[in-house]
Amino acid sequence: MAIFYETANVSFPKISRKETTTWIKKVVNIHRKRIGSVSCIFCSDDEILKINRQYLNHDYYTDIITFDYTENDVISGDLFISVDTVKSNSEKFGTVYDEELNRVIIHGILHLCGFKDKTPEDEVQMREKENEALNLLNRKYEI
What pLDDT, in 10s, does the model give residues 57-116?
999 999 999 999 999 999 999 999 999 999 999 999 999 999 999 999 999 999 999 999
Residue 143 pLDDT exceeds 80? no
How high is the pLDDT of residue 60? 94
How high is the pLDDT of residue 138? 84
- Spatial separation of the C-alpha atoms in residues 107 and 134, rounded to whole Å: 10
- β-pair type (74-82, 64-68): antiparallel
Express as a percent the part of the chain with pLDDT over 90: 94
Residue 141 pLDDT exceeds 70? no
Give mean pLDDT, residues 50-62. 95
Predicted confidence band of residue 139 (pLDDT cuts 50, 70, 90): confident
Residue 80: closest CA among 134, 28, 18, 4: 4
How high is the pLDDT of residue 101? 98
DSSP per-residue string spanning 36-53: EEEEEEEE-HHHHHHHHH
* Mean pLDDT value across the chain: 95
Express as a percent the part of the chain with pLDDT over 70: 97
Question: Please, are residues 75 and 110 in contact by the beta-carbon 8 Å criterion?
Answer: no
List C-alpha distances in Å: 126 to 57, 94, 108, 122.
24, 20, 10, 6
Domains of the chain: 2-138 (3.40.390.30)
Q: Report angle CA 60, 65, 68 to the nearest 5 degrees.
A: 145
- Spatial separation of the C-alpha atoms in residues 17 and 39, rounded to whole Å: 12
- Spatial separation of the C-alpha atoms in residues 9 and 44, rounded to whole Å: 7
List C-alpha distances in Å: 85 to 42, 60, 140.
11, 11, 26
